[in-house]
Amino acid sequence: MLIIPAVDIIDGNVVRLVQGRFEQKTYSRDPIKTAKHWARQGAKLIHVVDLDGAISGTAKNIELIKKMAKGLDVPIQVGGGIRSIPAIKEFLDAGVKRVILGTKAAEDQDFLKKAFTTFKNRVIVSTDVASGKLAIKGWKVSLARIDLNAFLKSIKTIGMKEIIFTDTSKDGTLKGPNIKDLKKLLKSTGLKIISSGGISSLEDIYKLKMLEKNGLSGVIIGKALYEGKFTLKEALKLS
């Protein structure tokens, strides 16, 4: 099970939000330095989100992320406002290992099919869920018209084998992950899942580790690391 530290960016700063609300807390003014810190601590993959891009619909921190991809000894996966085939290609050509698709993937199945056909497993869908409904556009809009289970089934039909799952009500709250829904999704979809949101303790990681046999492939951790609830090295020992 991969332990994946998160680097979320607004205005060039590393921040953490609570439930996607933009009353953020800033932890660093140097995302590259922060990512290098997690790499030195043993991270095998770093999760980078351009939150400016997620809201605006167009990636805003492209040059910063390109520098990060070239300057790190570990791979990064990147999301936030990446909503076209050329945009995906630009990030991948810059050295990003994998591009995360959210809003556009949920809204346009033809686009998702084309993206997967073109780039295969170098793209992954982030399934962000609010009250059982897909949340898009920086979690500001709920796609109530799209059934979550049907969407996940369509992802699998396309040929994708892994997704990122975030319960937006848990993200940044330090109140623990949504184990119940994770178990249901792992069983009903047969997809591998990277869990994101709510991690508060090493015990939470241990509980998620128990789901590895069911298909849980990774855990994205943000606020708990930045708040010093535990170290990345301690978390990696449980993985």
pTM for the whole structure:
0.91
What is the dihedral sign for C-alpha 27, 29, 31, 32? Answer: negative
95, 136, 218 from 70: Cα distances, Å: 6, 29, 24
**Burial classification of residue 212, based on how many CB atoms lie within 10 Å of its CB (0-12 exposed, 13-18 middle, 19 or more buried):** middle
Half-sphere exposure of 137 (CA within 13 A, CB side): 6
Number of H helices, E strands in the chain: 11, 12
At residue 138, the pLDDT reads 53
Confidence at residue 121, expressed as pLDDT on a 0 to 100 scale: 96
Predicted local distance difference test score (pLDDT) of residue 231: 97
Residue 22: φ, ψ to 5°: -85, 20
The CATH number of the domain holding residue 219 is 3.20.20.70
pLDDT of residue 167: 84
Q: Which of 8, 50, 171, 204 is catalytic?
A: 8
Is residue 8 flagged as an active site residue?
A: yes
Provide the domain limits for residue 58.
Answer: 2-237
State the chain's maximal CA–CA distance in angstroms.
44
Contact 54, 138 (CB under 8 A): yes
What is the predicted pLDDT for the residue at 23?
58
Nearest to 194 by CA among 174, 221, 232, 171: 221
The position carrying tokens 């996607």 is 20
- Cα–Cα–Cα angle for 8, 14, 19, rounded to 5 degrees: 50
Q: Is 108 labeled as catalytic in the residue annotation?
A: no
Kindly report the number of other CB atoms within 10 A of residue 120's CB atom. Answer: 10
12 and 229 Cβ atoms separated by less than 8 Å: no
Q: Could you say which of 128, 167, 171, 204 is catalytic?
A: 128
**What count of other Cβ atoms lies within 10 Å of the Cβ of residue 26?**
11
Q: Is 144 exposed, middle or buried (0-12, 13-18, 19+ CB in 10 A)?
A: exposed
pLDDT in tens, the chain (239 residues): 999 999 999 989 998 776 545 556 778 889 999 999 999 999 999 999 998 988 888 888 999 999 999 999 999 999 999 999 999 999 999 999 999 998 888 889 999 999 999 999 999 999 888 766 676 655 444 545 567 888 899 999 999 999 999 887 777 778 899 899 899 999 999 999 999 988 999 999 999 999 999 999 999 999 999 999 999 999 999 98
Total of domains in the chain: 1
